[in-house]
Amino acid sequence: MTLHLLKQRKCDYYEPTQNQMGYMTTHIDPIGHAFLNFAQSVTAPVIDIGAAYGHVVLEAASRQIDIIANDLDPRHLDIILQRATEQQLPYIMPLPGRFPEQMQFQPNSLGAVLICRVLHFFPPNDWMNAARTLFQWLIPGGKLFMTNESPYFGTMRKFIPVYLERKRNGHPWPGVMTGMEHFDDARKKDVSSVINLLSLSETRAVLEDAGFHIERIEYLDRKGIYPDDALYDGRETVGVIAVKT
């Protein structure tokens, strides 16, 4: 998609991805701001995994933070580089590839990782493996900044009763959606993936199991960040800051 067409499909809150992996948000949320503030204070490399068109990457570059911009779709990274100003460009290191299998970092090598609205596309085993890999890559004291859609996400509101019923029945991963029947009809064209929605407590459990200490975990109210149809009751997204102690 050209930049011109992309502009036409952009709404105030969302820009659709090129690869039907949902949208990039156009506003930086509290987890993004916390990442930017922390990244300014660490000397080890920092990365945005699944950066899409790089709204956080470009802000990091404006603050003169060297940042690795990753996405599995190289077209997204090309657009980041097209959007970057001459002043921003030297701070951005594009790294195309699918996390984690196409990325290689030494253990204890990254100072901070931002991974927003990516892991809700990961089936259970991949989610757990991703958490363990991130823990391994971070330096001691390094931090993970993460957001994922929760089971209380407006776009999938038809799924909430299914999720709650599964939870009552002790389903180990009650938020896994393999078909699109519970997805908002108007948004189906922009997503083609397994979706795995974790609540706050489920997210905490997986991260703690991988070794992380949870510094902050909360439901994020997406008013002002998401369009109205994606809102539910203020629990749309789980936001986390976790530390490798």
Q: Which stretch binds ligand SAM (CB under 6 A): 4-12, 64-72, 78-86, 135-143?
A: 64-72
From the DSSP assignment, how many helices (H) and strands (E) are in the chain?
7, 11
Q: What is the DSSP string of 108-134?
A: T-EEEEEEES-GGGS-HHHHHHHHHHH
Size of the site for ligand SAM (CB under 6 A): 22
- Does 187 interact with ligand SAM (rule: CB under 6 A)? no
Identify the three-state secondary structure at position 156.
Answer: helix
Residue 127, interface with ligand SAM (CB under 6 A)?
A: no
φ/ψ of 130, rounded to 5, equals: -60, -45
Residue (116 or 238) nearer to ligand SAM, CB:
116
- Asked if 19 is part of the footprint of ligand SAM (rule: CB under 6 A), the reply reads yes
Segment interacting with ligand SAM, rule: CB under 6 A, options 18-26, 35-43, 219-227, 237-245: 18-26
What burial class does residue 134 get, using C-beta atoms within 10 Å of its C-beta: 0-12 exposed, 13-18 middle, 19+ buried? Answer: buried
Q: What angle do CA 66, 69, 75 make, to 5 degrees?
A: 140
Quickly tell me which residue has 């195309």 as its tokens. Answer: 96
Supply the minimum distance, in Å, between the C-beta of residue 22 and ligand SAM.
3
Task: State which residue, 132 or 167, has the beta carbon closest to ligand SAM.
Answer: 132
> If binding is defined by CB under 6 A, does position 22 make contact with ligand SAM?
yes
Q: How far is the CB of 169 from ligand SAM (least distance, A)?
A: 29
Summarize as ranges the residues that interact with ligand SAM (CB under 6 A). 17, 19, 21-25, 49-52, 70-73, 76, 98-99, 116-118, 121
